Every structure is written in C-alpha cells, then in structure tokens.
Amino acid sequence: MAAGGAAGRAGGISRPPVVAALATAVLLMATAATPAHGFISGETWQAVRRANRDAGPFVGLVVPNAYEMDPVLQSPSFNKPSNGVPAVLDVQGRRFRFGTIGGQSVVMVMTGLSMLNAGLTTQLLLSLFNVKGIVHWGIAGNANEDLQIGDVTIPEYWAHLSLWNWQRDGDGPDNELPLEAAGDYTREYGFLNFSDYTVAVGQGQLVGNTLNSIWYQPEEIFPASGTPEQRQHAFWVPVSERYYALAAQLESLELPACVNATATTPTPTCLPRAPRVTRVPRGCSANIYTDNASYRQFIRAHFGCTPVEMESAAVALVAHQLGVPFLTIRSLSDLAGGGSALSNEAATFLTIAAQNAVDVMLKFVPLLGGEDAGGIAQDM
C-alpha cells in the first residue's frame, strides 16, 4: 500500500483527509481549553464572589504551620460560617477556611514555612477576598534575653534580614558596593563582617576571612498607591498604628506557665514565671532558622530584634504594599542559639508557645469590631 494510504488509517479504518484534519483540530482545541494549574476557574471565582458577598469583609488570618493552626480549629472561639458560606475553599494549593471569631468574619489560610510561601499566600488572600485587615501569628526564636520562653511579642516594625549584597574580598566599609550608584544597593543598614567571628589563632590575633562582609538591603516595593514599575524601598515596615494600640489591651492577659503532662513526661514542664504579652519595637525575619548565639547577639545589638523567624516580614511587605492593616503576634519558643537556663530545645516548649500565640490572637480579633471594610477585592 502506498505511504499516503497508510497515513490515512487508524485502527484499520480509513479516514478521509478532511475528517482526520478536523479530528486533529478538535484535539488541539480541547488541549488549549484545558486550564493551566495557575489559572483560577470560573467556578472558583463564583465561590469567591459568594463568600465576599455573603460573609465579607473579613479579617484575614495568616498562620505558618499546622501546629499553630490546629488549636484555632479546636477552639470554641472559632465558629463555623453561616449564610451558606462553605467551611473551606481550595485555590491553587491553598485552603481558605471561613468562620467567625468574636463576631468577626474571618478567612484563615496556612502558608507553610519560609518568606516565599508567606508572601505568595498573603498576596493570594488579598487578591481573592475582601480583607479589611490581617492578623498573623505563630512561634519564633528569641533574640532578647530580657524575655523568656512562652512570652508573646507584638512588634511595631518588621524587617527582612536575608536580602544581602555580599561584598568582594579585599573591599571594606568605605568601598562602594556594585550597582550602589544606580540605587540598587545601599550601605545604609550596615553589615556583618565574618572576620569578627573568626576563632583567635596564634598570640590572640584574629585572622582575616575571605568571606568578607554581607550588607543588609531593603526590599524593592511597588505600592498599589504608587506608580507601576517605579520602585520604592522598605526596610522597617510598620504594623497598623490602630492595631498596635489595640494590642496594649492584651498586655495583662494571663497565660499558662506549664506544658501539660503526657505519658512520656508525666511531670508537667513549667516556666519560671507565667508568660507575658508584650509589645516590642522590632521583629526580624529571614529565610534562615537562627540557632546561633553569635548571630542572635549581632542582630539584637545591630537591629534590636526580639522575635526572629521566617515569615512575618513577608506578610508585612505584601500588606504594606497593598495598604492593608496588619499585626503579627509571635510567641517565643526558644532562645536562639542557646544560653538560657531553660531547655533550649524548641520542641520542648513548642506546644505552650503555639497555644499562647493562638490565645492572644483569639482575644485580639474581636477588638477589631466596627472597622471599615478594606482590601483590594471590594469590587468583586
């Protein structure tokens, strides 16, 4: 049989060229119509619109991990939604949970670990839902030796400390950084010099280190209120003034001092004193799990950090750019790098630290009653 005849056969049935071409076209159209994973379907948008219409505006609750979220789901203060709003809505790998706390409609989402996850999830939350403000909570390492494990901190400012310009070996503080003249980088926020932490050798002399220095950099931001593609910079991002003032009402809150006994640890583990809620000047985030005493002491001395963790600055930067009020509540689970008389294993006090952060969040959200609607999804 000729090659042309063989090409027109499938499964032993001959198809005219026009039919074969039509079948191919239909297949291509069907393939093109299949949504990509990053595409939000019309059905999902309808569910989002119904939620905004029937339950919004919301307080957005942003939490890093399941062990910081599960106590909320188990709390009698978290009530199921009404008005036909679904309990959950899954969008692009994130699960949004609806409910009420103290009469406030809330939508809660878990981000997962890291700045990237926190930023992406917060952006998605604010793009989908009519959110009037964000409350973020979780555990954190502690850089402030005046506080203890279990204390709940509420910082007024947040900074991201893992955006660096790593300086060339041989250059020093007086040398301009690459692209500094163009405004891409700056020496404004200081540096960490690795030679300062070299172990002494010889006759007590410190030796140089080819790692040289890292210079801390602000984020490039593009606020919704600004001009697209015209960057601004932000290093210390302020929380909502109103939210921070309201948080003062929680500083007398009584929190538990002991981890409940279990089958493996029949005697409760207790802290030297009952934990406190305290507003602090500054919190610091980075894509780094900080368990090093030297670095803890450096960022405390240089930046004034109290809680150190991996998500809050990302939430802050997204909310700040979109003009949405936010506050972060972080309970201290360990003294970063050790040195405390208490056990320094974060897992030892993980339960009490997570529960303390949840308890403070559950008391804070009802204080937001009567706030005007906001967010960027009002027109949906």
Check whether residue 198 and residue 239 sit in a common domain: no
Displacement of CA 326 from its chain's centroid (Å): 12
In a domain, 72, yes or no: yes
Same domain, 227 and 119: yes
Contacts for 259 with CB less than 8 Å, ≥ 6 apart: 265, 268, 269, 270, 348, 349, 351, 352
**Has residue 340 been placed in a domain?**
yes
Q: Tell me whether residue 27 is in a domain.
A: no
The verdict on 303 and 225 lying in the same domain is: yes
Pick out the chain residues at pLDDT < 50. Answer: 1-13, 19, 26-34, 372-380
Give residue 1's pLDDT.
41
140: in domain: yes
Asked if the structure places residue 273 within a domain, the reply is yes
d(CA 208, CA 325): 46
**pLDDT, tens digit, 9 for 90 and up, residues 314-372:** 999 999 999 999 999 999 999 998 876 665 566 778 889 999 999 999 999 999 986 54
Does residue 146 share a domain with residue 174?
no
- Residue 193 shares a structural domain with residue 157: no
Residues 334 and 238 in one domain: yes
Shared domain check, 265 and 158: yes
* Residue 136 falls inside a structural domain: yes
309 in helix, strand or coil?
Answer: strand
Q: Please tell me whether residues 238 and 344 are part of one structural domain.
A: yes
CA distances from 45 to 108, 133, 373, 377 (A): 18, 21, 20, 12
Same domain, 223 and 207: no
Report pLDDT for 84. 85
- 62, 209: one domain: no
Residue burial 26-53, b: 16+ Cβ < 10 Å; e: rest: eeeeeeeeeeeeeeeeeeeeebbebbbe
pLDDT at 83: 81
* Cβ atoms of residues 24 and 324 within 8 Å: no
* CA torsion through residues 173, 178, 182, 183, sign: negative
Total of domains in the chain: 2
* Residues 243, 249, 251, 255, CA torsion sign: negative
The reply to whether 377 falls in a domain is no
187, 217, 247 — which closes off a domain? 217
Q: Does 25 reside within a domain?
A: no
Q: Specify whether 120 is located in the same domain as 173.
A: no
Give the domain CATH number at 94: 3.40.50.1580
Which range marks the domain in which residue 331 is found?
42-163+218-368
Q: Are residues 111 and 204 in the same domain?
A: no
